[in-house]
């Protein structure tokens, strides 16, 4: 059972392979993403994060989800030596952590409903579980940032998350918190494979902010693998990355 909808400014695809899959399960996940969008979107004037930035909500009024995201963002900031920071130009923008976290929470909701074989793709960030319709591991592609119709790597994933940060779609939207005035121009794409999409997403954002040094940061992080493409189209990847490119 597969469905794609446009939500949160991106296409979100849910594919459940389990024989007992029901339409309501997919509808519930889209309802969840709608709730997340209404709470965290910086483009919606009435969202909780917008009201916080307007100083219309005090800290003791923050929702439990907002408190969770702020705590996770602070943890990520510490773990990345300050290269991940949701505070920029006087406002809070947790979008660099919310999407991966929300996809992972949606996957957990499906697991609680008893589903074992599915994938969730939100704007190119993906969480897979179990196997695909053929009974094989899921295949997820990395797009060529210079030609998005071309796939440069096909990855074999079982119970993993994958996220990509880059400039191909949204242009320069990630910044180096230590030098916010400088554009990140030495790399154009950085993909991270993690134990779940939340881990992959937050570290992909931080590693991209490091520029070319990001891939070496990922090399030292247990449980993460990365694939970086620089402005000249040259790829650099971590030492364990190739195990995900094996054929089954």
**Residue 248 scores a pLDDT above 60:** no
pLDDT tens digits for range 12-56: 999 999 999 999 999 999 999 999 999 999 999 999 999 999 999
Classify residue 243 as exposed, middle or buried by CB count within 10 Å of its CB (0-12, 13-18, 19+). exposed
Residue 60 in 3-state DSSP?
Answer: helix
Report the distance separating Cα 41 and Cα 168, nearest Å.
21
Instruction: Say what the pLDDT of residue 181 is.
Output: 81
pLDDT one-digit tens code per residue, 49-103: 999 999 999 999 999 999 999 999 999 999 999 999 999 889 999 999 999 999 9
pLDDT bucket at 208, cuts 50 / 70 / 90: very high
CA 85 – CA 230 distance, rounded (Å): 23
- Give the whole-angstrom CA distance, residue 6 versus residue 12: 6
pLDDT of residue 236: 98
Cα–Cα distance list, 223 to 76, 226, 236 (Å): 15, 10, 18
Comparing 78 with 247, the larger pLDDT belongs to 78
Measured CA to CA, the distance from residue 69 to residue 97 in angstroms comes to 8
CA distance 107 to 115: 9
What span, in angstroms and rounded, lies between the C-alpha atoms of 196 and 223? 10
Q: Which residues contact 224 (CB under 8 A, 6 or more apart)?
A: 192, 193, 194, 199, 200, 203, 218, 238
Q: How far apart are CA 143 and CA 112, in angstroms?
A: 32
Taking only the tens place, the pLDDT of each residue in 152-194 is 999 999 999 999 998 765 555 687 888 888 888 899 999 999 9
Q: What residue segments make up the domains of the chain, in order of their start?
A: 2-245
Classify the C-alpha dihedral 145-146-151-152 as positive or negative: negative
Burial classification of residue 121, based on how many CB atoms lie within 10 Å of its CB (0-12 exposed, 13-18 middle, 19 or more buried)? buried
Report how far residue 115's alpha carbon sits from residue 17's, in angstroms, rounded to the nearest whole number: 8
Q: Which of 207, 218, 230 is nearest to 83 (CA)?
A: 207
Question: What mean pLDDT do residues 133-156 have?
Answer: 94
The answer as to CATH 3.40.1000.10 being correct for domain 2-245 is: no
CB 132 within 8 A of CB 117: yes
What's the CA gap between 58 and 236, in Å, rounded? 45
């Amino acid at each position: 059972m597969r469905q794609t909808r446009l939500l949160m400014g991106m296409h979100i695809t849910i594919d459940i392979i389990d024989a007992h899959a029901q339409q309501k399960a997919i509808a519930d996940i889209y309802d969840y993403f709608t709730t997340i969008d209404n709470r965290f979107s910086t483009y919606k004037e009435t969202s909780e994060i917008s009201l916080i930035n307007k100083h219309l909500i005090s800290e003791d009024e923050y929702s439990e989800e907002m408190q969770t995201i702020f705590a996770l963002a602070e943890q990520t900031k510490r773990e990345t030596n300050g290269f991940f920071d949701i505070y920029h130009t006087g406002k809070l923008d947790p979008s660099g952590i919310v999407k991966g976290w929300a996809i992972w929470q949606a996957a957990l909701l499906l697991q609680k409903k008893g589903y074992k074989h599915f994938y969730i793709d939100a704007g190119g960030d993906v969480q897979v579980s179990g196997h695909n319709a053929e009974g094989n591991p899921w295949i997820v592609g990395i797009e060529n940032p210079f030609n998005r119709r071309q796939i440069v790597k096909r990855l074999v994933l079982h119970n993993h998350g994958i996220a990509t940060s880059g400039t191909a779609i949204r242009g320069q939207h990630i910044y180096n918190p230590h030098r916010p005035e400088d554009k990140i121009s030495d790399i154009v794409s950085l993909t991270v494979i993690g134990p779940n999409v939340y881990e992959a997403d937050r570290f992909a954002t931080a590693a991209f902010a490091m520029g070319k040094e990001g891939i070496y940061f990922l090399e030292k992080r247990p449980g993460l693998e990365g694939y970086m493409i620089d402005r000249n189209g040259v790829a650099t990847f971590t030492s364990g990355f190739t195990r995900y490119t094996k054929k089954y």
